[in-house]
Structure 1
Amino acid sequence: MPSSTRRPLGRRDLLRLGLSALPAATLLSGCAASSAAPRGETGVVRYQGWSGQVTFPELAADLGLLGDLRLEWIGNTTSGPQDIQAAVTGDVDIGGAFNGSVLRLVAAGAPIRAVVSYYGSDALSNAGYFVLDDSPLRGPADLRGAAVGMNTVGAHHQDVLGIYLRRNGFTDVEIRDVQPVVVPPVSSEQALRSGQLDVSTMTGAISEKAEARGGIRPLFTDFELLGAFSAGCYVLREEFIAANPTTTRTLVGGIAQAVRWSQTRPYPEVVARFTDIIRRRGRNEDITTARYWRSSGVAGPGGVIADREFSIWLDRLVESGVIEPGAVDVSRTYTNAFNPFA
């Protein structure tokens, strides 16, 4: 469907669709990078943060990689899907989420473009699907009818679970019998230990602390299932890119350099920088969370996006009937045109 005939998504559409979008419109190439926004382009980029975490736009600003661009923090997000919905509705200029969530919005008609990867899974940073040590769940066949806790549905943890089950012989009907249960990450360990869940998905500091307390074990991790991969991207509205090509190049280029900085600097240096940023910004956060940072998990240098990092999720979404065959062209869902490492 040509972009000129699409009706922009409103908040009611997003609530009705949950997460779900047509191919993004024509690729908009940027102009030469500049430290200052030219006349007519915005010099302020609105975004949401994460409590106790440093986002790559924040790191880029702290490292002086955004030139004269100023970030405007409007609050913290509760999930990736919520963050990119805020970008679609124009409440923020940039948002980040799991690539499968991006595909859902693109398939529903959202005029957005993924521009740089910002998180992923590797041997150091990944999502684990944990059970109690004495749980009878030992393999995929045992998950029939199980309640699996995750931070949100229609996103990373649910789609990884779907691929895990499909690869282990589950039909789509059987996969639907495995119940996703939305649990705030801070409650995931307690929900598992109290018997409210059969499986709990945990990452980062939460999983490390839970494992240190003992009594739990991972059934599998997304890294064991899929290898190292970038899992989520920052997205921009296409109208933002069209109206602000130089700002876009500066913003994305700065984020890409910040990602590369985290990929190449010694671990203690990155943790120290994150801790200092969290302390200085004064948002009444727990600064100890930064100590559990192990890696960005981003596979491509500087967050360069690989086709596989969208196609693997699109294949599953089409197979499960969430997205119609041919509704999304992966090559028009993302662009590396603004990334200096591409």
Structure 2
Amino acid sequence: MASRITSITSTAPGSMDLRRRTLLKTAAAGAAAFAASTLLPSQRAHAQTNGTVLRIGFQKYGNFVVLKAQGTLEKRLAAQGATVQWLEFPAGPQLLEGLNAGAVDVGTVGETPPIFAQAAGVDFAYIGNEPPAPKGEAIVVQHDSPIRSVADLRGKKVGLNRGSNVHYLLVKALQHAGLSYSDIQPVFLTPADARAAFVQNSIDAWVIWDPYLAAAERQANARVLTTGEGLVRNTQYYVAAKKFADRQPQLLHTLLAELDQVDQWSRTHIPDVASQLSPLVGLDAPTLELALNRASYGVQPIDAATLAYQQQIADTFAELKLIPKKLVVADAKWHTA
């Protein structure tokens, strides 16, 4: 699924034309097929007949991984007659495509993927968020690169995952340095491909988030030009398929409560979390500790200020023609008792 879906995130910048919409539908169908293929026959039958299967889309790093390892959510949901299915995605844009395909009920993404998803017509709701973590993403260059500031990126190739949380960081950092988005050459790559391009000097700079950022600093001798501090919030959101959120609010409330408990434990047990994540993520514990120490912790309800911030991102991307139309972000707010 990854290769099929990431082809969308590697297209040139511009409006979301008919071709992109067609690709999105194709990727969505692929995601649905992949999700179905990962289930055993008994699981597929259960998923088709039982409306209380909570399908969670997660990425390899983060509190969902810790929650999955601890198994506490399964125990709480069993009391409500529900089961859990976990589906891994390489990044937020792909996860939201899985949600659009009907393969996922809920997941966690950065601040930018929901904007692209809403523009593409994905029917989802914001159900919660983590506090801002602006130090958890950055623009990096090779240690010996002649590029000393963001202003030096004019005309340079900058790698990033299209539609990911760092897309907005790049736009704001360029604006702050007196450059426009058209002054650089964006190269849309998944994190794994971008790391390879970065190490091989095929790109001049890389815009990336933790733990890939921490790994680049410790293992690839990367130098930080700027983090998101003072530029963006780098907020992590919990999103759900709108129909599922309306139909199963109690399951989502239980999920958010369990995530908050994991967060509160993780905040004071960073070495333990790093050790737990290390074999799952494939990074050493010290690298993960670096990332975890600049993460944020604690699940919060979506408030007016958060929606206003998301609206700023949507308006910015509409002005740059990165999305085809203006959005009303508040249309995706979860209205629950």
Per the normalisation by structure 1, the TM-score is 0.70
Q: Tell me the distance in 1 between the aligned counterparts of 2:20 and 2:193.
A: 29
Residues in 1 aligned to 2:175 and 2:262: alpha-carbon distance in whole angstroms: 36
Q: 2:104 aligns with which of 88, 92, 95?
A: 92
Q: Which amino acid aligns with 2:237?
A: C
Question: For 1:272 and 1:261, how far apart are their aligned partners in 2?
Answer: 14
Deviation, structure 1 residue 138:
2.0
Distance 1:309 1:254, change over 3 A: farther
Say whether the 8 Å CA contact 2:138–2:225 is kept in structure 1: yes
> Match of 2:70, as an amino acid?
D
In the alignment, which residue of structure 2 is the partner of 1:3?
none
1:160 equivalenced with 2:189 (yes/no): no
Aligned twin of 1:62: 70
CA-to-aligned-CA distance 1:1-57 (integer Å, 9 cap, x gap): xxxxxxxxxx984625999xxxxxxxxxxxxxxxxxxxx983321133434x35427
Q: Which amino acid in the other structure matches residue 125 of structure 2?
A: R
Which residue identity does 1:165 align to in structure 2? L
Instruction: Map 1:266-277; keep pairs closer than 5 Å.
Output: 266-274=269-277
1:233 is the counterpart of 2:242: no
Q: 1:233 corresponds to which letter in structure 2? A: Y
Give secondary structure in 2 for the equivalent of 1:136.
coil
Change (3 A) 1:47 1:12: farther
CA contact (8 A) 1:99 1:309 kept: no
In structure 1, distance between residues paired with 2:158 and 2:271: 34
Of 240, 244, 258, which aligns to 2:262? 258
Aligned CA-pair RMSD: 3.5
What secondary structure is seen at the aligned counterpart in 2 of 1:99?
A: coil
SS at the partner of 1:307?
A: helix
Gaps of 5+ in 1: 1-10, 20-39, 279-284
Shift in CA distance, 298/308, structure 1 to aligned 2, threshold 3 Å: farther
Give the structure with the larger helix fraction.
2
Please give the per-residue CA displacement for 1:255-310, whole angstroms capped at 9, x wherever unaligned: 333334334x232233345458x4xxxxxx63746861443866574243333541
User: In 2, distance between residues paired with 1:241 and 1:189?
Assistant: 36
* C-alpha spacing 1:120/1:15, structure 2 compared with 1 (3 Å): farther
**Taking structure 2 as the reference length, what is the TM-score of the superposition?**
0.71
Verify the 8 A CA contact 1:258 1:302 in the aligned structure 2. no
The equivalent residue for 1:8 is none
Residues in 2 aligned to 1:248 and 1:286: alpha-carbon distance in whole angstroms? 30
Q: Counterpart of 2:5? A: none
Quickly say closer, same or farther: Cα 1:161–1:18, change in 2 above 3 A. farther
Look up the match of 1:220: 226
Determine if contact 1:60/1:257 at 8 Å carries over to the other structure: no
- The CA deviation at 1:83 is 0.3
2:331 aligned residue: 332
CA contact (8 A) 1:45 1:93 kept: yes
Conserved 8 A contact 1:116-1:336: no
CA contact (8 A) 1:41 1:247 kept: no
Q: Is the partner of 2:141 in helix, strand or coil?
A: strand
Residues 331, 298 of structure 1: alpha-carbon distance in 2 compared, 3 angstrom cutoff: farther
Deviation at 1:105, TM superposition (A): 1.9
CA contact (8 A) 2:134 2:229 kept: yes
Task: Check the 8 A contact 1:60/1:255 in 2, yes or no.
Answer: no
Query: How far is the alpha carbon of 1:240 from its aligned partner?
Result: 0.7
* Structure 2 counterparts to residues 39-78 of structure 1, below 5 A: 42-51=51-60, 53-56=61-64, 59=67, 62=70, 64-65=72-73, 67=76, 68=78, 69-74=82-87, 76-78=88-90
Percent identity over paired residues: 22
CA contact (8 A) 2:140 2:207 kept: yes
